[in-house]
A and B are shown apart, each in its own frame.
Chain A
Amino acid sequence: MAFLSILHRDRTIAGPGFNRWLVPPAALCIHLCIGQAYAFSVFNLPMTKLIGIGRSVPTDWKLTDLGWIFTLGIFFLGVSAAILGRWVEEGGPRRAMFTAALCFGGGFLVSAAGVYAHNIWVIYFGYGVIGGFGLGLGYISPVSTLIKWFPDRPGMATGLAIMGFGGGALIASPLSVWLMARFSTPVHVGVAETFICLGVIYLCFMLVGAAIVRIPPPGWRPAGWTAPTTPQKLVTTADVYVYQALKTPQFWLLWWVLCLNVTAGIGVIGQASAMSQEMFPGKVTAIAAAGFVGLMSLFNMAGRFLWASSSDLMGRKNTYFCFFIIGTALYAAVPATGASGSVALFVLCFLVIISMYGGGFATIPAYLKDMFGTRYVGAIHGWLITAWSAAGVFGPVLVNYIRQYEIDHGVPKAQAYNLTMYIMAALLVAGFFCNLCIKPVHKRHHLGQVGSGAVPAVSN
């Protein structure tokens, strides 16, 4: 298996003269592919008509069955990022990216077999479990590499990669629709063929990323850059071992910071189309609502890069303070925009909110690096991703159930989201206080300190 030796960490150390600006495209190769997960819903309706073709028949799958595919994918994203984070960190980015490519591309191919056989369990296993592992490994694999290449701008670097995750859906959605149109006939829905095409395309694209990626040699630093000599209160120069980090209050405060920020955003992402139409009946059509959703995707993606980059100047803690203060004010203002009938103000509020939702994802790796150092930041980030999985449950449940509760109690549809907006604002206030409580990690947790736990040898 000599071929596999090219995946070895030692084989990925950059030689002299390697340009670090080649690493962000390598990361984007991965994140632009796995970001497809956000666009999986484009398959939902066609997959309810695989047997009935033009319409659903009783033997066709229901939307509720299909909803589990995405849920499983996101669940296994969190699981794999948490449990394989250390494996990713110690084996290097190329091995992780290669494995992610096999899992994510392979997940599509297995799912295609599930569509041919019309067996939903095969798709749950293919996209949900195998693909979910690809999502998790791919999500965390480039993060610590980028932070090591860009110690002068870690926020911008991770923001670039995680922006790709937001951008992946923008590519996958029209591409999937186009492929399905190409493969569909009057007697056949072209979902399986589309899955095969996507699986092969994503496999190749991700393998290019794995081939390009390099890690910096030990002691490398950017030309002309020296580490700040004046100690910064919330930026450590020490490292904390991954399982030691889990024992610190800072990790769990950051977990809640991410969870609360994501909960507030994720709930409205899924309901944006319906919410805009119900809050402005007659003013916002279904087509306009689709445009609103598209605009939100763009702001989600742009916010990842812009907020994370600005955190290099403002500091991570201040950036999250911005999210929580501005977010609270905007969520509290949304019911007023509905009452005043101002669609423009409503749209503006949500575009800023969604940019901060994306910004929260993209800024957290740099925040972790500031608190726990660079050595295990990828593995620690993997554990923190479980906050996303939790938010994926809390957010939609809050929005959907509270709306239904309000409607059941006679509240007009146009006002059914008001209580949810105030609850979202309250969640962000809680996030503000979690962020406020974050202090530097005590040096007893640092690697090499007595009582900091076992210091593992890096197994290359």
Chain B
Amino acid sequence: MANQEPHRTGLIQLLLAWGFVGIPLLWGVLQTLRNALKLFQ
């Protein structure tokens, strides 16, 4: 079957899915970076 990878799945759905995992991950990274900066103080 040739691929039809079109765009029926909307951009909003994609943004929601990535936001759902990306926002907590970003929060965790920022918290860790804040702690990691103590190495340089």
Q: How far is the CA of A222 from the CA of B4 in the complex (A)?
A: 8
Q: How far is the CA of A297 from the CA of B34 in the complex (A)?
A: 13
Contact with B along A211-229 (1 / 0, CB 8 A): 0100001111111010000
Interface contact A222-B3, CB-CB below 8 Å: yes
Interface contact B29-A291, CB-CB below 8 Å: no
Residues A1-46 near B (CB distance < 8 A): 16-22, 25-26, 28-29, 32
Contact of A25 with B36 at beta-carbon distance under 8 Å, contacts A16-B4, A18-B9, A298-B29 already known: no
Is A287 in contact with chain B by the CB < 8 A criterion?
Answer: yes
Interface contact A287-B4, CB-CB below 8 Å: no
Closest B residue by C-beta to A31:
B21
Contact of A26 with B17 at beta-carbon distance under 8 Å, contacts A167-B28, A170-B28 already known: yes
Q: Which of B20, B25, B38 contacts A167 (CB 8 A)?
A: B25
Contact of A17 with B24 at beta-carbon distance under 8 Å, contacts A25-B17, A220-B1, A291-B39 already known: no
Interface contact B29-A170, CB-CB below 8 Å: yes
Would you call the interface of chain B mostly helix, strand, loop, or mixed?
helix
> How far does the Cβ of A300 sit from chain B's closest Cβ, in whole Å?
11
Contact of A17 with B8 at beta-carbon distance under 8 Å, contacts A29-B21, A287-B38, A294-B36 already known: yes
Contact of A288 with B38 at beta-carbon distance under 8 Å, contacts A167-B25, A170-B29, A297-B32 already known: yes
Interface contact B39-A288, CB-CB below 8 Å: yes
> How far does the Cβ of B6 sit from chain A's closest Cβ, in whole Å?
5
Closest A residue by C-beta to B17:
A25
Interface contact B5-A19, CB-CB below 8 Å: yes
Interface contact B41-A212, CB-CB below 8 Å: no
Interface contact B9-A17, CB-CB below 8 Å: yes
Contact of A291 with B13 at beta-carbon distance under 8 Å, contacts A19-B5, A29-B20 already known: no
Residues of B within 8 A of A298 (CB): 29, 32-33, 36
Residues of A within 8 A of B39 (CB): 288-289, 291-292, 294-295, 347
Interface contact A208-B20, CB-CB below 8 Å: yes
Closest A residue by C-beta to B38:
A291
> How far does the Cβ of B20 sit from chain A's closest Cβ, in whole Å?
6
Contact of A32 with B3 at beta-carbon distance under 8 Å, contacts A18-B9, A170-B32 already known: no
Interface contact A19-B1, CB-CB below 8 Å: no
Q: How far is the CA of A217 from the CA of B4 in the complex (A)?
A: 11
Residues of B within 8 A of A291 (CB): 35-41
Q: 8 tightest CB-CB pairs across the interface, nearest first? A: A17-B8, A291-B39, A170-B28, A171-B28, A291-B38, A294-B36, A25-B17, A19-B9
